[in-house]
Amino acid sequence: MSDNSVFPGDKIASIEEYEAGHNTFDDGDMVRAATMGEKDMDKETRRVNVSHPKLLSIPKVGDVIIGTVAAVMSSMIAVSIDYINGKPTTSKVECICGTRNMRIRNVALVNDIVSLKIVAHLNGTIHAVMDERELGIIFTKCRKCGGKVVAKSTDAIKCTDCSWIDERKLSSSFGKNDFIHLRE
Ligand SMILES: [Zn+2]
């Protein structure tokens, strides 16, 4: 953080002095930051830009991420990244994880929390896998009633409310952490 750091909504300049540029907007009175980043006041063009520290938040191949399942498709899941190697990130970059070869029908549900390893960047998409012991679902709920579930094995869960048994690829850290608190 420096003196130029801004948070979303921060007032940067009066619209009489400056025009809104990248990652900024004007509210009719002030130019404000639309994202977290570093402000840059261009005195020649009279424009304000905010540079988003996005590059710092993109995981590299080999990084382990923890994220929230944003979408479940027939052969993959999309995950919004919350942590990279244990460090929180606010940029909400998404990665995808193929599930076609997993022999489990309900690999994950939307809003489950998963741990994945990044394996490739292809055509602007970040690809991840969950085929290691510590990777997989960290937090999930019952698909039937939304109740709390417990692990029955490494790939099965049981609801403590309605007793529904379901499949998941569970991480070895399933049920051993407090990520639930971070989300509520
Ligand atoms: Zn249930």
How high is the mean pLDDT of the chain?
A: 87
> Does residue 111 carry a pLDDT above 60?
yes
pLDDT (0 to 100) of residue 183:
42
Assigned domain for 126 exists:
yes
Same domain membership, residue 167 and residue 103 = yes
Phi, psi of 57 (to 5 degrees): -105, 5
Phi, psi of 181 (to 5 degrees): -65, -35
Assigned domain for 22 exists:
yes
Average pLDDT over residues 176-183: 51
Same domain membership, residue 139 and residue 73 = yes
Distance 87 CA to ligand 1 centre (A): 32
* Integer angstrom CA distances of residue 85 from 66, 91, 164, 181: 8, 15, 33, 19
Distance 169 CA to ligand 1 centre (A): 18
Distance 170 CA to ligand 1 centre (A): 17
Distance 114 CA to ligand 1 centre (A): 20
Distance 180 CA to ligand 1 centre (A): 18
Assigned domain for 58 exists:
no
Expressed as residue numbers, the domain containing 122 is 64-183
Same domain membership, residue 154 and residue 176 = yes
Question: What is d(CA 30, CA 47) in angstroms, rounded to the nearest whole number?
Answer: 12
Residues with Cβ within 8 Å of residue 105, at least 6 apart in sequence: 167
Assigned domain for 169 exists:
yes
Q: What is the pLDDT of residues 6-59, one digit of tens each?
A: 888 889 999 999 999 988 999 999 999 887 788 999 999 999 998 876 555 789
> Does residue 160 carry a pLDDT above 60?
yes
Same domain membership, residue 160 and residue 118 = yes
User: What's the pTM value of the predicted model, to 2 decimals?
Assistant: 0.67
Distance 179 CA to ligand 1 centre (A): 20
The pLDDT > 70 percentage for the chain reads 92
The distance from CA 102 to its chain's CA centroid, rounded to whole angstroms, is 22
Same domain membership, residue 93 and residue 134 = yes
**Residue 127 vs residue 177, higher pLDDT:** 127
Same domain membership, residue 161 and residue 70 = yes
Distance 70 CA to ligand 1 centre (A): 21
- DSSP letters of 97-158? EE-TTS--S----TT-EEEEEEEEEETTEEEEE--STT-EEEE---TTT---EEEEETTEEE
Distance 94 CA to ligand 1 centre (A): 29
Dig out the tokens for 98 from the structure. 């193929």
**Domain count across the chain:** 2
Confirm if 39 and 60 have CB atoms less than 8 A apart.
Answer: no
pLDDT (0 to 100) of residue 128:
97
Assigned domain for 59 exists:
no
